Structure 1
Amino acid sequence: MSERDDFASTLHEPELPVSVDDDVMDDDDRLRPRFVREVLDAVADGDDEAARGLVAELHPADIADLIELAPADERADLITALAGIVDADVYAELNEHVREDMIDEMEPQQVADLAAQLDTDDAVAIIEDLDAEDQLEVLRAMEPDDRAAVEEALTYPEETAGRLMQRDLIAVPEHWKVGQVIDYLRSGDDLADDFWEVFVVSPNHHPVGTCKLSTILRSARSKPVSEIMARKQTLIPVDLDQEEVALKFQKYALISAAVVDGSGRLVGMITVDDIVHIIQEEAGEDVLLLSGAGDGDINEPIATTVRTRLTWLVINLGTAMLAASVVGLFQGEIAKFALLAVLMPIVSGMGGNAGTQTLAVVVRALATNQLTDSNTMRMIARELTIALSNGVALGLLIGIGTAILFDNPLLGAVIGAAMVINNLIAGLAGILVPVTLDRARIDPAVSSAVFVTMATDVMGFFSFLGLAAVTGLAG
């Protein structure tokens, strides 16, 4: 075997899912209900060996799914029955709410042993949600090196690169030759197992470049690292928000990236497998926040979900009362011409739908850095053009339809004009509200929908009923 082949064979290969029977997984890679029931029945019957045999070939992510699919009161028995199979990798894949329930039932030493088997970022994810007292007990039970790494990570704010990064990485000086790097990788028993590139650092441990493993393997041993390394690299500040980290990985097609502290020293690395989870979380989070549904996790405690949703429903109730007060200003007109009460929800409802469309586009553009200070005015002009076009089209449709249906051209003209006005308000609110909140450092996904809905309801009622009063339609 050649030297390069020998080196390649020593690299740690990522664990791949094992092919399982069609009776276990459906076409969408979901565990079949019958299989889940079969495993749970085996556990209930005390046949732990049968249960372990059923899940032995499953990937850790699928075992995590199995635990999540089990009823809450059966999960502890399931984990006990699968002793030796439910390992640290399975806990790393568990839903955070389910994992938190499982961790709460463990002794501090058990949690410490579990964390020791994980990368720093996964260990931090398990420990950070513990109560302060439990957290301290677990840290005390950990080995000094592991404890130091986790304690350092916990000093960084949540959802930042410091919490996300791994401490285990490969860094070499730029004056080394390729042969020295290969020998170092072979001789270091305590080096990282999973890596795709070697970071090149200066004497003060500042990253100055990177070398892909493929480049190292294809270069002569006598070649200096400084000649084969890529000097241009994307560095991640340790306090950068995880959403911004994900955007950098997406924009520059990164596999891994160096994390640096305030002085520019290399302190860790982030890999793309962690970023995939972040992109999924952030995308789902914005959609749920827009609806006021909170975390949106089906494993979230019911009391927490009720509290979150009720908060926004109460706020929406307040905005609805404001819209109702506008209607109250025109109760005389409504009493004289009852058709106004029949038609006014159409104006406000269509405005609300238009505002939601604009809001969704703008929040996404802000989240992906497509909308910046440089193009905000252009975006406003674009959305107003769209709103005017849609408003005119809808206004003509509802105006002509109303005029024909109720044999009242003036009523058709009033509702058509109100539709145009409210669509313009919807477009303007749909972009100005999230942009303003973003400039104020408030997450626009959290509270934009409430203000946009209020604007379209209030202005929808006011424009329609106000035009009816001005034109003497109800006279």
Structure 2
Amino acid sequence: MATIRDERELIAPTVDRAFLDIVTEALDDGDHDRLRELVEPLHAADMADLIALLPSDERAVFVQALGGDFDPEVLAELDEAVRDDVVDHLPARDLAAAVSQLETYDAVYVLEDLDEDKRQEVLGGLRAEERVAVEEALAYPEDSAGRLMRRELVAVPQFWTVGQTIDSLRSRDDLPDEFHEIFVVDPRYHLVGTVALGQLLRSGRDVLMQDILEEDQRNIKVTTDQEEVAYLFKQYNLMSAAVTDGEGRLAGVITIDEVVDVITEEADEDMLALGGVSDGDVNESALTVTRARLPWLMVNLLTAVLSASVIGLFEKSIEKLVALAVLMPIVASMGGNAGTQTMTVTVRALASRDLTASNAWRVVRKEVLANLMNGVVLATFSGSFVGFWFRDWVLGAVIASALLFNLCVAGLFGALIPLGFKRLNIDPAVASGVFLTTVTDVCGFMGFLGLAAWIIL
């Protein structure tokens, strides 16, 4: 049998199937020493990927087998469903020991979905100052800056000199592992401004901090939604930003690390919501996924009945000309695809704030015009094709006209539906797709069958 060192050299540095098989073998054999040596070189993020690949019933066993060699940072890297699966099976004492080594933001992420009894048990195992910080964070609304911020920061009085500040940084035992700027505060701990580390190092030791601070600080309230936080970081190219409480006192700091997580999370939510699976996840159970998807599938079923009822109105026309039944899906599907393109662009523009009330109608007109031009090309092609296929140029003209009409409708409503939901303070990504599909189906069937009944029959 190959040695452990040989096994490492035979596999890729990333977590692949071969590596998973080796780890699973060590876990099944109860060879914990071999298991620890195998996973020791892994980064916390790669370790999280490995745990996610393990069967649900083996995840907690894997973590417990590592014992004191388990890196608590891994808990902060786990997807929500996997994290819950792991922490639910960890004893409160072990979980408290892991959480105590995390920054406040990561500790809140690990604890926020625990049931109240276990959460209190874990909090009881933390040091007093750690418990207070985590409890304060959990008291803020979910997805707010208060939940997102770190308490670990560097703040100095405005009357300190650069030399005093540098000496203080060198002597502090609780200095954050990473920070980008120093916050300057008044005696009441109100934020006065910030000094970038580069500016600090370029200044003489006798220079006062208040003389080199940057006053134009984009400080954020603890109640600010995380989407707003992400927008501010993107808009103003921030690396970090202060968070202040209701009275303007410095409460914490948000860094680009947290914001990258937020941007990824929000983008994933929007992408999943467009498919009606906002709560879906590859690591969720089948029952959880079913519960998340079923409501929107029921809504889609009801809207499909509406579309079918439109077809029923033209039942006699379809009986007279079977070609209508053959060609109907072309009009509906082309409208649906074109509408989805417009809807996707609109939802994304709303999320990034590139689309606002000031340019909404310009964007709507542009989308309608783009679909009109595409419609002309597609209508010409489809009309000619149908004319040759059925040797009926009138039928070709009907489908061309219906297709052109439906693509214009798709462009119009693909933009208006998300805008309407945004105006009603409803997430446009959640419900736009179902309603857009209904509009393009109904208008496509009505336009095509109505024109056919009027012109041909």
TM-score range, shorter chain: over 0.9
Aligned partners of 1:109 and 1:142 also within 8 Å:
no
Pair 1:282 & 2:269 matched: no
How far is the alpha carbon of 1:21 from its aligned partner?
6.0
Q: Point out the more displaced range, 190-199 or 434-443.
A: 190-199
Q: Counterpart in 2 of 1:297?
A: 281
Question: Secondary structure at 2:160's aligned position in 1?
Answer: coil
**Contact persistence 2:338–2:407 (CA under 8 A):** yes
SS in 2 for 1:84: helix
Q: Partner residue of 1:310?
A: 294
**Residues 1:77 and 1:138: Cα distance change in structure 2 (over 3 Å):** closer
> Residues 96 and 123 of structure 2 are in contact (CA less than 8 Å); yes or no, is this contact kept in structure 1?
yes
* Paired residue total: 451
Residues 64-96 of structure 1: CA deviation (Å, up to 9, x unaligned): 221111122222332222222212111111222
8 Å Cα contact 1:437-1:443 kept in structure 2: yes
In the TM superposition, what are the counterparts of 1:75-474 in structure 2 within 5 Å? 75-471=59-455, 473=456
Using the TM superposition, give the Cα deviation of residue 289 of structure 1 relative to its aligned residue in structure 2, in angstroms.
Answer: 0.5
> Is contact 2:145–2:225 with CA below 8 Å preserved after alignment?
yes
Paired with 2:12 and 2:104, the residues of 1 have a C-alpha distance of: 31
The alignment partner of 1:210 has SS state of strand
Are the equivalent residues in 1 in contact too, given 2:60–2:90 (CA < 8 A)?
no
Q: CA deviation at 1:260?
A: 1.4
Contact 1:174–1:201 (8 Å) recurs in 2: yes
Contact 1:23 1:32 in 2 (8 A): no
Tell me which amino acid in the other structure corresponds to 1:25.
A
2:122, 2:94 → 1: CA distance?
A: 8
Q: Residues 245 and 21 (structure 1 numbering): CA distance in 2 closer, same or farther, change over 3 Å? A: farther
Distance of 1:110 and 1:436 partners within structure 2: 49
| TM-score (structure 2 length as normaliser) | 0.95
Contact 1:249 1:255 in 2 (8 A): yes
Which consecutive aligned stretches of 4+ in structure 1 deviate over 4 angstroms post-superposition?
A: none
2: CA distance, partners of 1:22 / 1:309: 43
Offset at residue 194 of structure 1 (A): 2.2
Identity of aligned residues (%): 51
Distance 1:334 1:355 in 2: 26
Deviations for 1:402-457, whole angstroms, at most 9, x for unmatched residues? Answer: 11211111111111110111111111110111001011110000000000000000
Please give the alpha-carbon distance, in whole angstroms, between the structure 1 residues aligned to 2:415 and 2:442. 17
Instruction: Name 1:25's counterpart in structure 2.
Output: 12
Partners of 1:23 and 1:285 in 2: CA distance: 37
Aligned counterpart, 1:10 = none
The answer on whether the counterparts of 2:8 and 2:38 sit within 8 Å (CA) in structure 1 is: no
Distance 1:191 1:272 in 2: 18
Structure 2 SS opposite 1:385: helix
Q: 2:23 aligned to 36, 39, 42, which one?
A: 39
Give the C-alpha shift of residue 239 in structure 1: 1.4
Q: Would the aligned equivalents of 1:40 and 1:78 in 2 still touch at CA under 8 Å?
A: no
Alignment match, 2:3: none
CA contact (8 A) 1:31 1:66 kept: yes
Q: What is the SS of the residue equivalent to 2:68?
A: coil
Q: 2:57 aligns with which of 73, 80, 99?
A: 73
Alignment deviations for residues 155-184 of structure 1 (CA, whole Å, 9 cap, x no partner): 211111111100111111221100111121
Deviates more, 1:405-414 or 1:104-113: 104-113
CA distance in structure 2 between the partners assigned to 1:61 and 1:50 by the alignment = 21
RMSD: 1.5
Q: Choose 134-143 or 93-102, whichever is displaced more.
A: 134-143
Specify every segment of 5 or more residues in structure 2 that has no aligned partner in the other structure, as ranges.
1-6
Which residue is equivalent to 2:4? none
Output the CA distance in 2 between the equivalents of 1:34 and 1:21: 10
Letter of the 2:161 partner, please give it: K
Q: How much does 1:390 deviate?
A: 1.2
The residue type equivalent to 2:193 in the other structure is: G
Deviation at 1:22, TM superposition (A): 6.0
2:59–2:85 contact (8 Å) kept in structure 1: no
* Preserved CA contact (<8 Å) 1:294 1:305: no
Kept after mapping to 1: 8 A contact 2:56/2:85:
no
Rounded Cα–Cα distance in structure 2 between residues aligned with 1:80 and 1:398: 63
Q: Any stretches of 5+ residues in structure 1 without a counterpart?
A: 1-19
**Deviation string, structure 1 residues 288-315 (Cα, Å, up to 9, x no partner):** 1001123332111221101111221111
Query: Which stretch shifts more, 184-193 or 409-418?
Result: 184-193
* Alignment partners' CA distance in 1, 2:282 and 2:445: 37
Contact between 2:238 and 2:256, CA under 8 Å: does it hold in 1?
A: yes
Instruction: Give the counterpart letter for 1:48 in structure 2.
Output: H
Residue 24 of structure 1 and its aligned partner are, at CA, apart by 3.7
Inter-partner Cα distance in structure 1 for 2:47 and 2:69: 9
Cα distance in structure 2, aligned partners of 1:63 and 1:340 = 57
Amino acid of the structure 1 residue aligned with 2:126: M
